[in-house]
Structure 1
Amino acid sequence: MKSDILKSAIDKLSRHFAARNWKYLDIATEKTIEKSFAWPGSPEENIMICVHRQDFFFFNFAYEGNYSALSYKSNNYITIQENECYIGQPFSGYALYAHSEKEFTIIGILIQKETFFKIFLPILSADTKLFRFFLNAQTNKYSEEFIHLHFNDTCNIRTLLEMMVIEYANPQEDTQAVLQPMVLTLLMYVARQYKLSEIHKNETLSDKIIRYISEHNDCIKLKDVARHFSYHPNYVSALLHRELGKSFSEIVLEQRMEKAVSLLKNTSLSIEKIAGMLGYSNSSNFYKAFRKYYQQTPREFITTQK
């Protein structure tokens, strides 16, 4: 049963939802004009917490009851059950589909793109597929991809969301600063659950090794991989070379450079920040590795992409 404080916070945000600036903007594409919501919060807000009980919305956690989502372009139709999460990309065509008269409550976390890339993306970079999902919104503005997750540990997720709702519904001068570590924690739960949902039983040993390298390529060593999978380093090295035609160090470098290019092209992160995310002890070592791999310095690469 909800506490009086939580119930009051949910009711307050529900009333505020309708008063938000849900104004559509005309966004020009190569072939047509698309519609997209403007940022509904105030300019000084980077994070928003939304709650509503209506039959239109475009984000996140099914807190009470079930709801359905429909993707505008590809007609993806799914039902999000209570304690499940729908994660959509910016500008994606998305609508709720009400198929029941039963009331449902959605808690939505809205994050401005610039804030997301600067503050939150680094903690999600370990999982290559998840990392690409979030960056895809930069290279394909109207991507219709989405992530649908069921959380195994619903108690912690619900408690965290309830804390965020109460904080946002009763704002203080430092509310945005308080919300930031909460969102970081939430995204770490998302990354953990996404990893569990993506593990396939049909993976070969080399597939598992590549995924493990991707998840740890900021600090990975061959001996660490061998220890994790209980094999001798020589066996792991020979397996990768036989099945992929590449050495362990070549695979690590390739993954790092692919991430480096994605970050350079699609974010405004500094080169020093990117170097740290990729496991380089200093930007000088990153510069050398990047130039050797691409025959360009990172700054030259950025210039040619403009």
Structure 2
Amino acid sequence: MKKSDLKKWLFTMTDRELYYKNHPEYYNSLYDSCESKQLDNRKVYVFKFHEQKKKNDLTPLNPKLEIVKHSRYSSIPVHIHDYIELNFVYAGTCKAIVRDKTIPLQCGDVCIMDTNVPHTISEVEDEDIVINILMEKSYFTASMLGQLSSNSIISDFILDAISHDRLHNRFLLFHCQDSEKLIPIVEELLCEFYEPSFCARDIINAYMVLIFAEMLRHFQTDNSKDSTAAHRNSILDILKFIEENYQNCTLQKTATAFNFHPNYLSRLIRKKNGKSFKQLLQEQKLNKASSLLANTSMTIAEILQEVGYQNHGFFNKIFKERYGLSPKEYQLKMNNTKSISQLNKQI
């Protein structure tokens, strides 16, 4: 598919969109057959990946990925889903209603929703094009995650989203209006998805990694000014500071580095990232510890000292909670995996 054909297809009103436009009072009774549940004392619908795939799938290329153009003028009830969803504003504007909060979105904005976030998209009219990318949790393979930055906001979000012991109530917002690459990459993705060529599945996965990487480059949670200092220093700068100074990082030291009061910084981090300072610091230490266990011959005692933990028992506990194995079991598993890999290469 050529890009010119793609753009024509995206902006052409479908019969369904024209009907919604001319009948704004129309309610699609099909939603009544969807599963629903009470969440935060309100009724929300539950959208299932296999149902969305069956309804929209034009190309059975990847059973774990679906890409659809949001239907303009449609009235979609507040819902959650069992998949990860990426909403990209390709043209124009729209509004995302997330947990009863209205978030204006414009061309270049991207919003990633975890599975348990009540939301909907509204006010999508003639010149507004929103692309919805639906990803089953199992879409994110180890090899794909390995292509993302190991300690990035996106990779941590995805790892949380595909785990079984999280609340799954997070979303991330990216403002990428200044990106000169994101729209062309998305266009290439759509052309390949709707008119597959040779090796299309691998090409599509590669485009998805590029999209995530470009989003990360332009990361910011919103354009509002929490303070003059907060405007100068994005939350990404704060996260990078924690990543680079995790061994002896404290809330006080971080606050001093960014000229914040510790209490204000604590609230800012939780508001922007959905996690406490303590949680972020612990995750960074565990990320580093797992990397050292897998890729070095250091002893566990040496690794504890390297990442800044003094209590061996506490380290064992939180490590097993995250990885499902004790540090020793994890190290043995990684060493066995490498040994088998090396043996296969020799054979």
1:88 maps to what in 2?
A: 113
Tell me whether 1:6 sits opposite 2:33 in the alignment.
no
Letter in 2 for 1:7: K
* TM-aligned CA distance change 1:216 to 1:36, over 3 Å: farther
2:93 maps to what in 1?
A: 66
In terms of mean alpha carbon deviation, does 77-86 or 291-300 score higher? Answer: 291-300
* TM-aligned CA distance change 1:201 to 1:132, over 3 Å: farther
Question: In 2, are the aligned partners of 1:45 and 1:176 still within 8 Å (CA)?
Answer: no
Tell me whether 1:294 sits opposite 2:309 in the alignment.
no
Gaps of at least 5 residues in structure 2 are: 18-29, 54-59, 77-84, 263-278, 305-310, 327-347
Letter in 2 for 1:112: E
1:120 to 134, 137, 145: 145
1:45 maps to what in 2?
A: 63
2:265 maps to what in 1?
A: none
Question: 1:11 Cα shift?
Answer: 7.1
Distance in 2 between residues matched to 1:108 and 1:292, nearest whole Å: 45
2:216 to 191, 197, 200: 191
Letter in 2 for 1:62: V
Gaps of at least 5 residues in structure 1 are: 223-235, 245-253, 264-272
Letter in 2 for 1:170: E
Tell me whether 1:78 sits opposite 2:103 in the alignment.
yes
Percentage identity across aligned positions? Answer: 15
Tell me whether 1:149 sits opposite 2:159 in the alignment.
no
Letter in 1 for 2:133: I
Q: Deviations over 1:223-246 (max 9, x none)?
A: xxxxxxxxxxxxx9xx89xx99xx
Question: 1:3 Cα shift?
Answer: 4.2
Distance in 2 between residues matched to 1:76 and 1:132, nearest whole Å: 21
Letter in 1 for 2:316: Q
* TM-aligned CA distance change 1:221 to 1:287, over 3 Å: closer
Question: 1:170 Cα shift?
Answer: 0.7
The SS at the match of 2:67 is: strand
Question: In 1, are the aligned partners of 2:175 and 2:221 still within 8 Å (CA)?
Answer: no
Letter in 2 for 1:214: I
- For 1:201-216, list aligned pairs within 5 A: 201-202=228-229, 211-216=239-244
Q: Deviations over 1:206-257 (max 9, x none)?
A: x99863343457xx999xxxxxxxxxxxxx9xx89xx99xxxxxxxxx9675
Letter in 2 for 1:104: D
Q: How many residues align?
A: 256
1:108 to 117, 132, 156: 132
Question: 1:85 Cα shift?
Answer: 1.9
2:266 maps to what in 1?
A: none
Q: Please give the TM-score of this superposition, normalised by the length of structure 2.
A: 0.54
* TM-aligned CA distance change 1:183 to 1:274, over 3 Å: farther
Question: In 1, are the aligned partners of 2:247 and 2:285 still within 8 Å (CA)?
Answer: no
Question: In 2, are the aligned partners of 1:65 and 1:105 still within 8 Å (CA)?
Answer: yes
Question: 1:173 Cα shift?
Answer: 5.8
Question: 1:110 Cα shift?
Answer: 2.1
The SS at the match of 1:294 is: helix
2:26 maps to what in 1?
A: none
Q: Deviations over 1:130-189 (max 9, x none)?
A: 835862675113x1x433332143431110010011000112463221111111111111
* TM-aligned CA distance change 1:275 to 1:93, over 3 Å: same
* TM-aligned CA distance change 1:26 to 1:255, over 3 Å: closer
